[in-house]
Amino acid sequence: MLKKVGVTGFFALFMLNAGLMLYFGRETFQVTSNAQQPSRYSYHFVLISEEVDNEYWRLVEKGAEAASGKHNIHLDYWGPKQANNEDQLTFIDKAIASKVDGIMTQGVSSDTFNYLVNKSVQKGIPVITVDTDAPDSVRLAYVGSDNYLAGKLAGETVIKQTSGQQKVGIVTGRFEASNQQLRVKGFKDAVSSVSRIQIAGIGESNITKSGAIQATYELLKNHRDITAFYGTSALDGLGISQVASLYQQKKRPFIIAFDTLPETLTLLNKHKIDATVAQYPFIMGERAVETLFAIKKGAYPGSLQYTKTDIMTNLKGSHP
Ligand code: BGC
């Protein structure tokens, strides 16, 4: 009898343990559904973002979902909990191991990324980049903004909308992300011939609002004469605006942000920022799936698929 109870108890414990292992394994890697493709779908695609819960990436996901629905594609959306190249690369490798039919991922500038894209394509799994390109890899196409041009547009807006000497503080998402580098380069190139506009310094937000607050605060501490700020990723403008309204109350700096997340548009309407560079993440997601679907069907849609970027300003000229 005792022996029977012992065996049953052991079995129950074993099952509980196995269940917990499965559950937490899935949680750790944010795998939202089974990697095995159910055969009722036409294809199984994976979208890999810079950060899974970032509001901007959720819009890319929504667009990808909309297009997947149209073509009966099974879509998985994966990404690191906090922006991190290593985790992102692990997700790519995992998608290859899962034998998905196609991968859409933010481009990463690294040899490991190029190696993984090569490995994937060799195995017959096409890869396209979304939002950030990796032109040195063998990805089949890029869908997203022309990030250099977007940076230029931001620079031209500062030239147009300000007068007199300007010292610009730049808050950028991640120094190692090539879309951020291009946005900074485009901006610098645009203002380089205008001597009244100088770059005071640059700080990194790690694509979070709290990081942007910290970076803005550091910039202001080291360069008290800053008169303008440029935020190059979706949450940077929010952090800049929060610090600027606390520390530069008398004459707030000119602020140009990136993206059109609801909070950014509210700040624009309230005249707390002056302009923002609009990107179209929903369309990026939609077009990425359409492009990958076309590739699967044997078409070659062209390697550079730029989506629109434009400037939204606060036309009343809020900047004092
Ligand atoms: C960029 C993305 C980035 C996001 C972060 C966007 O402007 O295009 O690459 O992940 O900002 O919030």
Reported as a pLDDT band with limits 50, 70 and 90, residue 301 is confident
96: in domain = yes
Q: Please give the DSSP secondary-structure letter assigned to residue 126.
A: -
Domain of 155 in residue numbering reads as 147-279
- Distance (Å, whole) CA 32 – CA 26: 8
Ligand 1 site, CB within 6 A: 50, 54, 56, 131-132, 173, 179, 207, 233-235, 258-259
158: in domain = yes
Q: Say if residue 38's pLDDT is above 60.
A: no
214: in domain = yes
Q: Say if residue 317's pLDDT is above 80.
A: no
Q: Do 137 and 151 fall within a single domain?
A: no
Reported as a pLDDT band with limits 50, 70 and 90, residue 318 is very low
Strand partners, 204: 172
Count: domains in the chain: 2
How far apart, in Å, are the Cα atoms of 194 and each of 187, 188, 287?
Answer: 12, 10, 37
| Phi/psi at 303 (5° precision) | -80, -25
Q: Do 173 and 104 fall within a single domain?
A: no
Q: Do 224 and 193 fall within a single domain?
A: yes
167: in domain = yes
CATH number at 82 reads 3.40.50.2300
Reported as a pLDDT band with limits 50, 70 and 90, residue 82 is very high
Which of 81, 131, 143 has the most ligand 1 atoms within 8 A of CB, as the residue to mutate? 131
> What is the pTM assigned to this prediction?
0.87
Q: Do 171 and 115 fall within a single domain?
A: no
12: in domain = no
Count CB-CB contacts under 10 A for residue 196. Answer: 11
Q: Do 239 and 286 fall within a single domain?
A: no
